[in-house]
Amino acid sequence: MAVPSRISDVLFRRDMVGPSFVKFAATVTGMVLIEKVFMEFVLPHLAGELEDIFARHGKIQALFLLSAANSVVTFWGFGALMALPAFVGASRWKIQAGKSLDLQMLQSSMPLIVFNWLLGIILLPLLFAHFLPESSFDWRSPPSTQTLVRDAVVWLAIEEVWFFYSHRWMHMNKQLYAAVHKMHHKWTAPISFTAIYCHPFEHLVSNLTPLVLGPLVCGSHLAAISIFSFLGVLHTMAVHSGYWFCDDNGMHDEHHAKFNVNFGVLGVMDSLYGTYQLPGGPSQSTPGAASKAGERLGEKVE
Ligand SMILES: [Zn+2]
Ligand SMILES: [Zn+2]
């Protein structure tokens, strides 16, 4: 009787386009589920309070307050939790084994990280205040499930395509790489906070634009946008954490280690362009592991 060995390696082949689309679908599903839970069980209790904040402070100031609160919790709160293993020098689950945190380098990187963080919490509210329709701020009428699914598909598709091309462009154009993107790659073994350690031009073009473009194109509800940006920031910090609790199989960490692979977010565009590559790790997985596992699956064990 055939005994499957490492079925996961076969089902989720690391070198195929398919799993990336499956990942895209899974990400949409997960995001919509979280949004639905929030809209059903949390938003009704916050609606009155949110209306008060907007009435008291006006749209722009209220958006600044909410954006700052959301960002303090996600970027500095969850970011600190994700940086803890690096701070204490934990070697278990480290993607690039043997690499440790350079505290002095982190200290010297902080002013730019704080500057880019401020850029985000100032620019996003301004854009949302000016370009979102009034319905985006109607706390008593959350969007339907159909709208949430449509929005999540558009947001993630724009983010994947925009981030991939803008990021790849910054690698392929040597002058641009030297003047702009090289800064982000100073961290060959990143930690959570270095997700936004980059030239402000790159932060605007590659990080903030794909985050706001989808919501503005869709005219999305602000409650849904808040969850998208919350999850987006968590994701980017996790994939820069340097540990296996990242949610991309170590894909972006490998980009920092190798420079010329994994330009996208979900792997869809990289699979299409042949630049999708995952690091080896605790499972000893390599780009060729899937086919080897496939061969093993066919083995007969008595
Ligand atoms: Zn990075
Ligand atoms: Zn890069």
pLDDT in tens, the chain (302 residues): 444 455 555 445 555 556 678 889 999 999 999 999 999 999 999 999 999 999 999 999 999 999 999 999 999 999 999 999 999 999 888 988 888 899 999 999 999 999 999 999 999 999 999 999 999 999 999 999 999 999 999 999 999 999 999 999 999 999 999 999 999 999 999 999 999 999 999 999 999 999 999 999 999 999 999 999 999 999 999 999 999 888 888 889 999 999 999 999 998 899 888 898 888 754 443 343 333 333 332 333 22
- For residue 229, how far is its CA from the centre of ligand 1 (angstroms)? 17
Distances in Å between the alpha carbon of 82 and those of 76, 167, 231? 10, 24, 14
- For residue 129, how far is its CA from the centre of ligand 1 (angstroms)? 29
Q: Which residues pair with 243 in a beta bridge?
A: 94
> What residue ranges do the domains of the chain occupy?
7-83+107-297
Nearest ligand to the C-alpha atom of residue 240: 1
- For residue 203, how far is its CA from the centre of ligand 2 (angstroms)? 12
Nearest ligand to the C-alpha atom of residue 191: 1
What sign results for the dihedral spanned by CA atoms 71, 22, 273, 215? negative
- For residue 23, how far is its CA from the centre of ligand 1 (angstroms)? 20
Neighbours of 132 (CB within 10 A): 21
What is the distance between the alpha carbons of residues 179 and 58, in angstroms, rounded to a whole number? 40
Amino acid identity of residue 270, one-letter, is D
What is the distance between the alpha carbons of residues 62 and 45, in angstroms, rounded to a whole number? 18
pTM for this predicted structure:
0.85
